[in-house]
Amino acid sequence: MYLQLDEISGPRADFLLTTAARLCMTVVKPLPDEADAVVLAAAGRAYINPTQVSYETIGPMSVQRPQGSGGLYLTKADKAALKSLAGRGGAFTVDPTPETADPSPTYPVDVDEGIATEYEPGWGWL
């Protein structure tokens, strides 16, 4: 149905689907349930153009396909989709502060002094 072909070789299609799923698992493992579209796209490309033909002429008709459009492979978009489906895409933050960091000030604090009452230019409140 996906390829809109009248006849499909069942064993060949099963082999390509299984192999495409394994190829997808090299990007994310375990494979998300929603990854079936990526698996199907990769297997479909390989089924339609197994010999990686890039230019073909039959009678008055000629077709040119992008280079590397055959065989079983994952596109950059396929890999990005797999990572996104696995929840590994997008922005993230990293906190470099160690868990043992002490939030108290590192400069000497004189707790015996009251509120500053005198302002000196260049030095601030004293």
Least confident of 12-16, 82-86, 111-115, 122-126: 111-115
Compute the distance between CA of residue 120 and CA of residue 46 in angstroms, rounded to an integer. 78
Q: How far is Cα 73 from Cα 44, in angstroms, rounded to an integer?
A: 11
27, pLDDT greater than 60: yes
| Beta-strand pair 119-120/55-58 | unpaired
Is 80 exceeded by the pLDDT of residue 25?
A: yes
* Mean pLDDT in residue range 87-115: 74
Over 60: is that where the pLDDT of 31 sits? yes
Q: Residues 36-95: pLDDT tens digits?
A: 999 999 898 888 767 666 677 888 888 776 665 557 889 899 999 999 998 886 677 888
pLDDT of amino acid 105: 67
Percentage helix, strand, coil, to 5, in the chain?
35, 10, 60
> What is the rounded average pLDDT for all residues in the chain?
80
Least confident of 7-21, 33-47, 80-94, 112-126: 112-126
Q: What is the DSSP string of 95-110?
A: --S-TT---S-SS---
